[in-house]
Amino acid sequence: QAARAREVRLTRALEDVERYKELLKNAKSGSSEEAARLRQTAAAQANHVKALERQRAELLAAFKKQMRLIDVLRRQKVGLALRVIYP
């Protein structure tokens, strides 16, 4: 559930980055101050997206590790059950 929420936030952030890129392109003909501000905002958004992507990758890695641990525990449980039945 948390991974889904992060993925939604990541998607929104990516859409924001694309929107800011478009605004930046349009603002180049405008004032240099406005263009600089938009550039700074786009850079901040890009950094935010990178952080979210990194966080998503870490979450996926942790989830996979957790699934492997669950599998190991399940195998251990089956092994113990077999030892009790067939000593």
pLDDT block averages, 10 residues each, the chain of length 87? 85 90 75 77 94 96 96 92 80
Q: What is the pLDDT of residue 29?
A: 65
Burial class (CB in 10 A: 0-12, 13-18, 19+), 21: middle
Q: What is the pLDDT of residue 30?
A: 66
Q: What is the pLDDT of residue 60?
A: 96
- Measured between alpha carbons, how far is 26 from 39 in angstroms, rounded to an integer? 12
- Measured between alpha carbons, how far is 63 from 17 in angstroms, rounded to an integer? 28
Contact 27, 34 (CB under 8 A): yes
Q: Which of 10, 35, 12 is nearest to 24 (CA)?
A: 35
- pTM of full prediction above 0.75: no
